[in-house]
Amino acid sequence: MYHLQEAERDPKSYCIQEILSGYSNVTLFSLTAIFSIFVLVALIKRVIFVKRINRIPGLPCGITIIGNAPTFLVPPEEILNRLTGYVAAMQSSGPVLRSWAGPFPFFILFTAESFEVILSSRKLIDKSRDYNYLQPWLNTGLLTSTGRKWLKRRKMLTPTFHFKILEDFVQVFNEQSQNLIQQIHDAIKLKNEIDVYPFITRCTLDIICDTAMGCNVDAQAKSDSEYVKAVYTMSEIVAARQSRPWIQPNILFQMSEYSSKQRKVLRVLHSFTDEVIRRRKMERIEQTTNKITAQYQEDDSFVAKKKRLALLDLLLDASKNGEVLSDLDIREEVDTFMFEGHDTTTAAINWSLLLIGSYPQVQERLNEELDRVFGGSDRPATMADLSELKYLECCIKEALRLYPSVPIIGRKLNEDTVIHGYKLPANTTVGLMTYILHRDPKHFPDPELYQPERFFETNSRGRHPYAYVPFSAGPRNCIGQKFALMEEKVILSSMFRNFHIKALDKREELILLIELILRPRDGIRLLLTPKQKD
């Protein structure tokens, strides 16, 4: 009776007592000793590990649990300045800098030699955990996958960017560039000073929707499209999670306001892509039997270009030719291209407009090249034209040197790695600071000056191959860099053939944000004057 009363009063304590009563004092002492030894060994290993890490120069170690996190808990617009200031202050200590992200070590790299060690390796290809926040949207597509899956997908997708396929995409670049020019002409009728950033964003979104999915979302005319707004919102959620440590653990994120917002936009994003895949599959079946129904021809949102293959078609062909790709596999790659294919290109075009618009002598030389190639005509650009726009290409490359779309590349080390004589342990993270690398005066004298001539062939000769990596480098470089450069050339050549452009903001006054990409907080303000046509 007594035991029953005890159990009713405090069932947890009673259960523990019952369990322990089955062991002798000697056994309990032994178990306690073994547990204590395990804890002691773990603590000793941790102390040795921390001392080993702290031999590498870096920030003061901070508090054990949170590390150097307080140093970087600043408003988003201050993060880049904090990082670059930290590196500048500590640079004399060595070419590898250590910090602690909570209990986890994080190494900052900024030399061409250290970039080469990481980016050239076929083993160190895993992305850092910051990329995990993209997985609810992109699952494990080409950007976020690792190991054998990444290697298999990379081999499968590489032919997508064959010269002939890229040539077919030039038509899309031209069509959407003309839409952009018309949108800007309409906007400057009242005032010829505009923030060009949202115009470029909508243009690149139209291009990637057409080339990736073969469908028309008409973002430039319908900026209130549910899908367009969902793309923007999801990007904001991922950026917020990357910059706010308190919502990074899944359990805490699920309790935040962002969680319900993410579920809503994911339903929009995934259902749109799923519907595009479903309709395209049906359309392809009907095309083979010459029974294309009027229903799909009349639905502008899902009309695919019959003569031009989109990425989606190539994925469907791969699935038909022996690759086992489910609809989910196809969706994650299409969504990955949607994400990667508009934000980074948008940033590159905007930075190019700002810089060329800030240097009249550069714009004058570019206009001379455009006149020589196009002869003052409004005709669409061809592949042959793009190959002739060599100075424009140098202008873009120099813009990406100063403002790389991805200013930090995160990699996880899956094996011990020696960099500049320091042994960085496996299972730690490195941040490759492209933004700082591109300002190394050893490779780029007077690094803050905008000088497209740096990328003339004669001036590039002998430069370290990893001194300039706006598209990353090595086996995991950007698969779409040729696509991006062609798109940027078409859009920028259209802009400068139609407008005299003057930047209204000084570079040093711009507030930069490191979110998913490097972008100006307040956009890019330009004074646009239409050119007189002969």
**Residues contributing to the annotated binding site for heme:** 478
CA distance 415 to 427: 7
Neighbours of 456 (CB within 10 A): 13
Neighbours of 179 (CB within 10 A): 18
Helix (H) or strand (E) holding 388: helix 383-388
Cα torsion 179, 181, 183, 189: sign: negative
511 neighbors 522 (Cβ within 8 angstroms): yes
CA distance 324 to 318: 8
Task: Name the phi and psi angles at 178, rounded to 5.
Answer: -65, -40
- Angle at which helices 2-9 and 11-20 cross, to 10°: 120
Closest CA to 124 of 336, 432, 406, 332: 432
71 neighbors 62 (Cβ within 8 angstroms): yes
Q: Is 462 helix (H, G, I), strand (E, B) or coil?
A: coil
Encode 457-467: b = buried (16+ Cβ within 10 Å), e = exposed: eeeeeeeeebb
Alpha carbon separation from 21 to 6, 26, 450 (Å, rounded):
15, 12, 78
Number of helices and strands in the chain (H, E): 23, 11
Helix (H) or strand (E) holding 17: helix 11-20
Binding site listing: 478
- HEC states along 291-327? CCCHHHHHCHHHCCCCCCCCHHHHHHHHHHCCCCCCH
